[in-house]
């Protein structure tokens, strides 16, 4: 696959809204390209290429050395996307069309000191579309509407292979996936990659009291929805692995949990920081995520454990076809022989949906974010199958905040101001407490964009400071203390719930409101 062919594919994927259309484009690329090009293309789309980090500051410096910085700043402000701006404004040179494999090789092996000269030389030799694809590849920000799972699904459909089997061994495969394409061509499944494999997890769908009213409560078991990280703990033939729900092996960051996994099987549960019988807020677990190694001090101060939901395989028996109640009985017996830091998520006693609603409204711990419902007769099915499992989360927290700053979005939103920083009052001063870039409708986005354009009072590069007159209702799932933010708080999953033209800025909420939420429990509290 040449860089031009890769650029064309990215453009077509970005402008094809339908999932099936994207899958057809990818299938054609798999069929029409040789190895290793198609494997590298797949790796780029799944985010599995490990290239040297090319930073925005490096690209800005290169561009300002070739183009009038004032013109570049004005162009970037108008376009809104750094790669697209550079691709369009970079001076034209002699055209070339290198293979994708050559580009990937040089980006992954060139020493850091020589990287700027390499990138500049490449940009000199490419056309605008190829420059855009090259920069997106180098920064790892493709954003063409293709998730890693969609890319794997497209491969499975093209190859005629079960997606679940591909996802089981994906963690052990590496670009350019020669074994995977050989399997598609008729070779045997790469079983060497399948030691302690990941099994795709079963997911739930959101629900509420109105939807539940049509169902019989007796058909369902309920348990708390713990605010940690969903994981799969796998032990097979002495190999111990801990996977995130997307199949990423995160065991290196949690050696203490791996040490507790003294069993043979596959268990489904929640990864939590645990201190005795207590469960720490999500913010403490977050400090251990995405680490290649963990220090002894961190192991002591943030000890992790598992709270189990389900069992897929136990002592060589695959239990996924059995009903939930039967699996739960096996799981209860299994947990009895494990370290206390691996325990069973308790089930809730209820006879009506109103009973469950009362429990949901007053959970015993702040780290509980709702309830889970599971049909007693449901098998363990991979993916998000509507009907067997539901999640009924606690209502989000709501505050009224004042818009303070705005930035342009990316991709399809590059023409709009869609990233908004908002604040609350601390005395006579507005202090930022969060940033949101979703939650609003398309019409609300246009309204907010018009407000920013008509009420800009200052400019800081691509950031616009706006008149402090527009109030928005912000929904969020949790709140942590933060030493990195001036306000002292950090929101979890904030989003703009609605615009409040009826409310003057002076009536927006105060920082004391957020601090009171934190003060409901001691320490660094997550209220989600």
Q: Report the catalytic residues.
A: 225
Q: Which pairs count as long-range contacts for 435-444, CB under 8 Å and 24+ apart, including other chains? A: 435/494, 436/474, 436/494, 436/495, 436/496, 437/409, 438/495, 438/496, 439/475, 439/495, 439/496, 439/497, 440/496, 440/498, 440/499, 444/496, 444/498, 444/499
Residue 317: other Cβ atoms inside 10 A = 10
Q: What gap in Å lies between CA 423 and CA 113, rounded to an integer?
A: 41
Q: What gap in Å lies between CA 458 and CA 241, rounded to an integer?
A: 51
Q: What gap in Å lies between CA 240 and CA 260, rounded to an integer?
A: 10
Classify residue 508 by its DSSP letter.
S
Q: What gap in Å lies between CA 67 and CA 85, rounded to an integer?
A: 11
**Residue that is written with structure tokens 């985010």 in the block:** 47
Contact 521, 366 (CB under 8 A): yes
Which CA distances in Å does 21 have to 151, 349, 498? Answer: 12, 47, 33
The distance from CA 327 to its chain's CA centroid, rounded to whole angstroms, is 29
């Amino acid at each position: 696959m040449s860089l031009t062919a890769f650029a064309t594919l990215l453009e077509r994927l970005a402008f094809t809204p339908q999932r099936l259309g994207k899958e057809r484009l990818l299938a054609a690329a798999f069929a029409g390209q040789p190895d290793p090009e198609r494997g590298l293309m797949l790796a780029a789309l799944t985010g599995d290429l490990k290239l040297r980090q090319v930073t925005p500051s490096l690209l800005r410096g290169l561009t300002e050395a070739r183009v009038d910085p004032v013109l570049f700043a004005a162009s970037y402000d108008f376009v809104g996307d750094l790669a697209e701006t550079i691709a369009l404004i970079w001076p034209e040179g002699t055209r070339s069309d290198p293979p994708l494999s050559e580009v990937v090789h040089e980006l992954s092996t060139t020493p850091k000191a020589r990287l700027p000269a390499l990138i500049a030389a490449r940009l000199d030799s490419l056309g605008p579309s190829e420059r855009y694809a090259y920069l997106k590849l180098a920064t790892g920000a493709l954003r063409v509407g293709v998730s890693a799972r969609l890319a794997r699904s497209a491969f499975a459909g093209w190859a005629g292979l079960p997606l679940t089997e591909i996802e089981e061994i994906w963690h052990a495969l590496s670009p350019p996936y020669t074994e995977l394409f050989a399997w598609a061509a008729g070779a045997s499944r790469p079983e060497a990659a399948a030691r302690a494999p990941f099994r795709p997890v079963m997911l739930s769908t959101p629900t509420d009291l109105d939807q539940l009213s049509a169902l019989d409560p007796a058909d369902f078991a309920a348990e708390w929805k713990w605010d940690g990280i969903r994981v799969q703990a796998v032990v097979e033939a002495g190999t111990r692995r801990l996977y995130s729900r997307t199949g990423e092996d995160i065991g290196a960051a949690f050696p203490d949990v791996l040490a507790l996994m003294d069993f043979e099987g596959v268990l489904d549960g929640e990864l939590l920081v645990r201190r005795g019988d207590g469960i720490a807020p999500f913010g403490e677990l977050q400090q251990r995520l995405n680490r290649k190694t963990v220090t002894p001090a961190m192991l002591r101060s943030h000890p992790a454990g598992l709270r189990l939901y389900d069992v897929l395989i136990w002592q060589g028996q695959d239990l996924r076809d059995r009903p939930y109640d039967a699996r739960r009985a096996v799981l209860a017996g299994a947990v009895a022989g494990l370290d206390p830091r691996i325990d069973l998520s308790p089930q809730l006693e209820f006879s009506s949906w109103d009973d469950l609603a009362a429990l949901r409204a007053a959970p015993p711990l702040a780290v509980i974010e709702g309830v889970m419902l599971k049909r007693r007769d449901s098998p363990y099915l991979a993916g998000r199958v509507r009907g067997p499992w539901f999640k009924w989360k606690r209502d989000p927290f709501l505050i009224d905040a004042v818009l303070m700053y705005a930035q342009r979005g990316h991709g399809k939103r590059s023409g709009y101001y869609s990233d908004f920083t908002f604040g609350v009052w601390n005395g006579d001063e507005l202090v930022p407490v969060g940033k949101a870039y979703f939650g609003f409708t398309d019409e609300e986005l246009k309204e907010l964009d018009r407000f920013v354009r008509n009420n800009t009072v200052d400019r800081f590069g691509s950031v616009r400071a706006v008149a402090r007159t527009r109030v928005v209702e912000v929904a969020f799932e949790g709140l942590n203390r933060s030493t990195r933010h001036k306000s002292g708080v950090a929101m979890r999953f904030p989003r703009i719930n609605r615009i409040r033209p009826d409310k003057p800025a002076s009536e927006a909420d105060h920082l004391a409101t957020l601090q009171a939420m934190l003060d409901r429990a001691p320490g660094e509290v997550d209220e989600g």
